[in-house]
Structure 1
């Protein structure tokens, strides 16, 4: 057999072998695809079985958030307290225009911060943390545990810019509702009342989409009953 014939036969063999290998690889890829797809849908079903997890997964990469104060002032505790004392009555009166019963008496509740503090998660506004008597354990902070039905936490707010301008901010409210009210929120109802006294949004109610970002944010502390607490440098001593 000539050298040319041998070379030709070898080339044919390599071509056939390559085609067979390619076909096998293609079959392997095709066979793997349904398994990968099945795993994908299994993962999706897992999320549906865990609504809180699914809520986080479905949240956009850049979730809605509170409008930010572009040039917030840096205040001492004394300065923040003095400004709040001037604004507090007007804040409460304006929130009351919404008709929400929380607005009528929240300032008579226990306040858990020594002075207003700037909250980055509330648009860099200065805020205060109030809680009603049912929510007294809120004052234990991270040791509070799960608060009972009827607990209400209210956070009023105001704006101070670096040029000295001041103004009202929204009232943020969390109310612990009966079991099964909303699994994703841990049965908390979020409400936001504007600086002009309008109910902007409420979980399972009017404008619910406007408080969805509250849910997303508080899911980060699901293990402490969805509650954030006053920063350590601004909080009062823990309660009993």
Structure 2
């Protein structure tokens, strides 16, 4: 896994400063060691801390996303988000997210959010809030006009497309560009973790 992770980082040409923050492979317990039920317990315990930390950013989504529809039945481990456990949320304009691969194209203003945490031998640790917001045509045409924002657990804006530290979230767009227009640049949870509509 470390070899694959190293190759991915090189392919995306991430700076040395970005790689340790987002993709450092911690001593994460294996999926067999953490049941889905335990992952839910961990999320319930840490979610108030996540929300309080993200809110320090004063980003409007940081105090709203958890009231949106959630499209995961439980936290699931996301290899593309540093092996962290994530939950997937979407605002009202992004309700088509629940169609998954049949999503079509979301409208301007649609936002998808993933909060995250990791489980290490030392306990449960908060992770970043990952956001994608559909912007007006011309915002970032090569990336489907999505704005990527990453908020750290202590409320710092780590990076935002066409904004603060934009280069630090370029790897988000590079990854999502792999699915491109066919899925409106979106990835979806594994089928076992999807809310079925």
Q: Under a length normalisation based on structure 1, what TM-score does the superposition of the two structures give?
A: 0.72
Alignment counterpart, residue 25 of structure 2, candidates 65, 69, 89: 69
Q: What per-residue deviation string (whole Å, max 9, x for no partner) do you get for residues 24-61 of structure 1?
A: xxxxxxxxxxxxxxxxxxxxxxxxxxxxxxxxxxx963
Match of 2:172?
214
CA offsets, 1:98-132, max 9 Å, x none?
01000111000011110001000000000010000
Within 5 Å, give how 1:106-145 maps onto structure 2: 106-145=65-104
Structure of greater Rg: 1
Instruction: Tell me which protein shows more helix as a share of its residues.
Output: 1
Whole-angstrom CA distance in 2 between matches of 1:63 and 1:110: 34
- The runs of 5 or more residues in structure 2 that have no matched partner are 1-8
Report matched runs for 1:61-210 at 5 Å: 61-64=11-14, 66-73=22-29, 74=31, 75-161=34-120, 163=121, 165-210=123-168
Give the ranges of 4+ consecutive aligned residues of structure 1 lying more than 3 Å apart after TM superposition: none
For residue 192 of structure 2, give the secondary structure of its aligned residue in structure 1.
coil
Give 1:69 shift: 3.1
Q: State the SS of the aligned residue for 1:141.
A: helix
Cα separation, 2, equivalents of 1:210 and 1:123: 15
Distance of 2:12 and 2:89 partners within structure 1: 29
- Over the residues paired in the alignment, what is the CA RMSD in angstroms? 1.4
Higher relative contact order (CA 8 A, sep 6+): 2
Question: How many positions carry a matched residue from both structures?
Answer: 179
Contact 1:130-1:154 at 8 Å conserved across structures: yes
Assess if the C-alpha contact under 8 Å between 1:127 and 1:155 holds in 2: yes
Structure 1: 5+ residue runs without aligned partners? 1-58
Over residues 114-154 of structure 1, what are the superposed CA-to-partner deviations in whole Å (9 max), with x where a residue is unaligned? 00010000000000100001100000100111111110000
Q: What is the TM-score of this pair, normalised by structure 2?
A: 0.87
Q: CA separation in 2, counterparts of 1:62 and 1:112?
A: 28
Q: What is the rounded CA distance, in whole Å, between the counterparts of 1:210 and 1:110 in structure 2? A: 28
Contact 1:114–1:234 (CA under 8 A) maintained in structure 2 = yes
